[in-house]
A = this chain, B = another copy of it.
Amino acid sequence: MTSMARRIPSQIFRSSLKTLNRAHIGSLYHNPRTFSTSLPRLANRAIVYTSTGNPSEVLSARTYPSLGPPPQGHVNVRLLCAPVNPSDVNVIEGVYPVRPSLESLVGSTESVFVGGNEGLGVVQRVGNGVDGLKEGDWVVFAKAQSGTWASERCVNGSDVVRIPDMEGGGRIGEVQGATLTVNPPTAYNMLKEFVDLKAGDWVLQNGANSAVGQAVIQIAAHRGLRTINFVRDRDNMDELRIQLHGLGADQIFTYESLHSKDTISHIKSLTSSAGGIRLLLNCVSGSTTTSLARLLGANATIVSYGAMSKQPLSLPTSLFIFKNLSCKGYWQQRWYMERGRTEREELMRELVGLIGLRKLREPEHEIVRIGGGLSDGEATQLVQGVMDRIEKGHYGKKILFKFDTVDS
């Protein structure tokens, strides 16, 4: 990626991040308690870093005083749960086009980056001049790189979006709320915005057991679309098949099976009566994706939202010319930047609706609890270990941090 590629989106974000930064600086200066020498009883732990690099080295857990009353227009939010998304790792490594700003958290003058882009919060305290939010509301964060790996955040009221209740009342699950901003909307919009699909049409995807892939399977099934799902071969392949079929997957194959002419003929005969596959959702790239592209029908679209192989997307030019292939990218963050709050709220209502209908389950996950009894040093070790395991691909599921409040 050129330096320009990185610069453009980060410039777009700079102004919003400055605002966010001022919010925190604001809460520091507006709250006389932060100048007290006695720390408040409940403290705020955050996973922070001061320079980009390997997450298993640069991250540390630090405890700050608990937030005071929020200033005008702001709310204090207690984080219930926050996932570690692949992009979070890229942000910390410094290779992502959106970068957080340095912040000075309440009770400290040192500037840090707070990890985490996405999370589920509950409104703890509402400042003057904030409309539409009340104590106890569940919210997600409207801005990129909100720094969600923390017990508490003080943010502008317009920088959170209230999660609607399900039809007939009741809340969605904590894990669903914590992962509502990035993965399900990506799946939902990729299935909606590129190809006009109707019931019976086939969709092809790789990385099908990723959180986005799982959401794609479920949303597609709900719409009567049929999915062909590719995953890496693994020891517990039968288990994975059962799980993905349970979500509504029609066909499941491993990348290895792309070497088999029988598989290829089978897929072609399955899909030809429906006019061929017109949408490939790609989060892998590299040579297996080249092979998948050859399975597509005329006028198909490849939508890329990741490159887990760390290889480029490489395609024969003939597919573009003679099969009229189109290639596009999808980035949920751009969607949020380009659309207004109303559209975002509508999207969230759609997704909460699907959850309410039990058509969209929480992703396979594991919660890593950052216990209140741990010292910052112990918590740092715990977090670094998690990041190291993620980097080595030792988890096959979504990891979420859950912070206990820290007794100080």
- Interface stretch, picked from A45-53, A318-326, A346-354, A360-368, is A318-326
Q: Which residues of B contact A325 (CB under 8 A)?
A: 327-329
The complex places the Cα of A316 from the Cα of B307 at a distance, in Å, of 9
Q: Which residues of B contact A321 (CB under 8 A)?
A: 304-306, 329-331
Q: For residues 284 through 333 of chain A, which have their beta carbon under 8 Å from a beta carbon of chain B? A: 285, 290, 294-295, 297-298, 304-307, 312-331
The complex places the Cα of A5 from the Cα of B327 at a distance, in Å, of 17
Q: For residues 33 through 76 of chain A, which have their beta carbon under 8 Å from a beta carbon of chain B? A: none
A319 touches B4 (CB 8 A): no
Q: Which residues of B contact A320 (CB under 8 A)?
A: 304, 313, 327-329
Given contacts A305-B321, A321-B330, contact A316 B1 (CB under 8 A): yes
The complex places the Cα of A289 from the Cα of B13 at a distance, in Å, of 30
The complex places the Cα of A26 from the Cα of B366 at a distance, in Å, of 75
The complex places the Cα of A145 from the Cα of B338 at a distance, in Å, of 46
Which of A97, A313, A331 gathers most chain B CB within 10 Å?
A313
Any chain B CB within 8 A of the CB of A130? Answer: no
Any chain B CB within 8 A of the CB of A372? Answer: no
Copies per complex of this chain: 2
* Interface of chain A, main secondary structure: mixed
Any chain B CB within 8 A of the CB of A9? Answer: yes
Distance from A326 Cβ to chain B, minimum over Cβ atoms (Å): 5
- The proximity string for A residues 245-259 relative to B, scoring 1 for CB distances below 8 Å and 0 otherwise, is 000000000000000
A5 touches B329 (CB 8 A): no
A312 touches B307 (CB 8 A): no
Distance from A186 Cβ to chain B, minimum over Cβ atoms (Å): 11
Any chain B CB within 8 A of the CB of A334? Answer: yes
Any chain B CB within 8 A of the CB of A260? Answer: no
Any chain B CB within 8 A of the CB of A8? Answer: yes
B331 touches A317 (CB 8 A): no
A317 touches B2 (CB 8 A): no
B285 touches A323 (CB 8 A): no
Q: Which residues of B contact A4 (CB under 8 A)?
A: 268, 276, 297
How many residues on chain A are close to B (CB under 8 Å)? 42
Q: Which of B295, B297, B315, B324 contacts A313 (CB 8 A)?
A: B315
A322 touches B290 (CB 8 A): no
The complex places the Cα of A97 from the Cα of B317 at a distance, in Å, of 13
Given contacts A307-B318, A312-B315, contact A294 B5 (CB under 8 A): yes
- The proximity string for A residues 1-18 relative to B, scoring 1 for CB distances below 8 Å and 0 otherwise, is 110111011000000000
A322 touches B268 (CB 8 A): no
Q: Which residues of B contact A327 (CB under 8 A)?
A: 320, 325-328
- The proximity string for A residues 64-100 relative to B, scoring 1 for CB distances below 8 Å and 0 otherwise, is 0000000000000000000000000000000001000
Q: Which of B305, B312, B329 contacts A314 (CB 8 A)?
A: B312
A316 touches B326 (CB 8 A): no
Q: Which residues of B contact A276 (CB under 8 A)?
A: 4
A326 touches B328 (CB 8 A): yes
Which of A276, A282, A306, A319 gathers most chain B CB within 10 Å?
A319
Q: Which residues of B contact A298 (CB under 8 A)?
A: 8
Q: List 23 interface pairs A-B (beta carbons < 8 Å), by A numbering.
A: A1-B318, A2-B294, A4-B268, A5-B319, A6-B322, A8-B297, A8-B298, A282-B317, A304-B317, A304-B321, A306-B321, A307-B318, A312-B316, A317-B329, A319-B329, A320-B327, A320-B328, A321-B329, A321-B331, A326-B326, A326-B328, A327-B327, A327-B328
- What would 5 more interface pairs be, CB under 8 Å, given A317-B329, A324-B331? A4-B297, A312-B314, A314-B315, A320-B327, A320-B329
Give the 3 A-B CB pairs with smallest separation, nearest first. Answer: A320-B329, A307-B317, A327-B327
